[in-house]
Amino acid sequence: MKILEINKLVKLFGGLAAVSKFDLYINKGELVGLIGPNGAGKTTAFNLITGVYEPTSGEVIFAGENIAGVKPFKINQKGMARTFQNIRLFKDLTVLDNVRIAYHSHVKYSVFSSLFRLKSFFVEEKEIEEKAIDFLKIFSLDHKKDELAKNLPYGEQRRLEIARALAAQPKLLLLDEPAAGMNPQETHDLMELIAMIREKFDLTILLIEHDMSLVMGVCERIYVLDHGMLIANGTPDVIRNDPKVIEAYLGEEA
What local confidence, expressed as pLDDT, does residue 252 receive?
A: 47
Domain boundary among 137, 168, 199: 168
72 and 7 inside one domain: yes
CA separation for the pair 158, 190 (Å, rounded) = 9
Residue 14 has pLDDT above 70, yes or no: yes
Domain interval for residue 161: 95-168
What local confidence, expressed as pLDDT, does residue 253 receive?
A: 43
Domain of 237, CATH number, reads 3.40.50.300
212 and 195 inside one domain: yes
What local confidence, expressed as pLDDT, does residue 124 receive?
A: 77
64 and 135 inside one domain: no
When pLDDT is cut at 50, 70 and 90, the band that residue 232 belongs to is: very high
pLDDT digits (tens, 9 = 90+) for 62-114: 999 999 999 999 999 899 999 987 888 999 999 999 999 887 666 666 666 76
Residue 198 has pLDDT above 80, yes or no: yes
CA 10 vs. chain centroid, Å, equals 21
What local confidence, expressed as pLDDT, does residue 119 receive?
A: 76
| Average pLDDT of span 208-236 | 92
Residue 147 has pLDDT above 50, yes or no: yes
Residue 19 has pLDDT above 70, yes or no: yes
- Percentage of the chain beyond pLDDT 70 is 92
Residue 173 neighbours by CB under 8 Å, 6+ apart? 80, 81, 82, 165, 166, 197, 203, 204, 205, 206
**How many domains, in total, are found in the chain?**
2
Q: Nearest CA to 42 among 68, 22, 72?
A: 22
Looking at the DSSP bridge assignments, the partners of residue 61 are: 5, 66
- For the entire predicted model, the pTM comes to 0.88
What local confidence, expressed as pLDDT, does residue 116 receive?
A: 58
Residue 36 lies in a domain: yes
pLDDT digits (tens, 9 = 90+) for 114-140: 665 767 776 777 888 888 898 899 889
Angstrom CA distances, 75 to 50, 51, 190, 246, stand at 7, 7, 26, 35
H-run or E-run covering 239: helix 236-240
171: which DSSP letter? S
Residue 154 lies in a domain: yes
Q: Nearest CA to 63 among 33, 99, 28?
A: 28
Q: Nearest CA to 211 among 242, 188, 234, 244?
A: 188
pLDDT digits (tens, 9 = 90+) for 23-55: 999 999 999 999 988 889 999 999 999 999 999
Residue 184 neighbours by CB under 8 Å, 6+ apart? none
Residue 88 lies in a domain: no
Residue 200 has pLDDT above 80, yes or no: yes
CA 106 vs. chain centroid, Å, equals 19
136 and 28 inside one domain: no
CA separation for the pair 65, 43 (Å, rounded) = 22
Least confident of 120-124, 192-196, 234-238: 120-124
- Percentage of the chain beyond pLDDT 90 is 56
On average, the pLDDT of the chain sits at: 89
